[in-house]
Amino acid sequence: MAKGSLEGQLHFERKNQNLVKVPKCYARIQKRPIPHAPVASPYAGANVPKIVYVSSNSPFMSVVKRVQKLLRQAEKRATSSIGLTDSKVSEKEKLARLARGQEQLAREEIFVKATGRAVEKALGVGKWFEEKTAEYTVRYETGSVLVVDDIVEDEQAKQKLIDKEMLQTKSETAEPQTETSGGAKEEEEEEEEEESNAQGSRKKKKRKHAAFDLNADLPETRTRWVKMVQVAVTLR
């Protein structure tokens, strides 16, 4: 997280613990798209949540303009029934209607939501509206979303590793049993020591996948928590 970033000013609960690890030599993680609720029409009623989803590729000002458009529609809904130009409505009733419209407008929030790497962009959108304090009210909520990743195995790469391990095991256990004496015995001991050092070197090379049981089946999926931010914007 970059020093001085907007994201760094908020608190996100750390939930990921003991994630399933994957041997990179023969498997990989394939991320699934995070499911979202359908985007509501800008003309839907005030009781329908209006959400703008932000990705890391979303153009910044396009998001801002989308939020502004939804806010203008909210303002139209709140003021459509006031009837300020209706001469048949008393001034007192007009003021009461105006107050109710303002109350409705303050309740109709437009939500900007983002997860993962897009969080910083969503916070930037919130900051843009927050700086215009005379027009907008902004509040922030943080949380987490549970997502599912697929674990994809490369069967050919895995089989090559299994075959290589079998060959190494056979070569390490196949030691010739011969009788020697005197100087020949000393020479053989030196050779055994060299062979032992070579075996130790080979074992170090194997450690990069030794923590994984090649004969065990990996799970098809894993779950993890992704940080999420929701920026709520309303007209004053």
Specify if 137 maps to a domain: yes
Specify if 50 maps to a domain: yes
Mean pLDDT of the chain: 80
Specify if 73 maps to a domain: yes
In Å, what is the CA distance from 88 to each residue of 79, 85, 159, 178?
A: 17, 9, 85, 118
Instruction: Name the range with the highest mean pLDDT among 29-38, 81-90, 168-177.
Output: 29-38
pLDDT surpasses 90 at 28: yes
Instruction: Name the range with the highest mean pLDDT among 3-17, 136-150, 181-195.
Output: 136-150
Specify if 210 maps to a domain: no
Specify if 206 maps to a domain: no
- Give me the pLDDT at residue 231, please: 97
Query: Do 50 and 77 touch, CB atoms closer than 8 A?
Result: no
Identify the domain containing residue 102 by its residue range: 7-82+90-152+222-235
pTM for the full model? Answer: 0.69
Three-class SS of residue 200? helix
CATH no. for residue 119? 3.30.110.20
Query: Do 105 and 78 touch, CB atoms closer than 8 A?
Result: yes
Task: Look at 141-145, 160-164, 199-203 and tell me which has the smallest mean pLDDT.
Answer: 199-203
Q: Between helices 60-79 and 91-107, what is the axis angle to 10°?
A: 150
Tens of pLDDT, residues 47-83: 889 999 999 999 999 999 999 999 988 888 777 766 5
Q: How many domains does the chain have?
A: 1
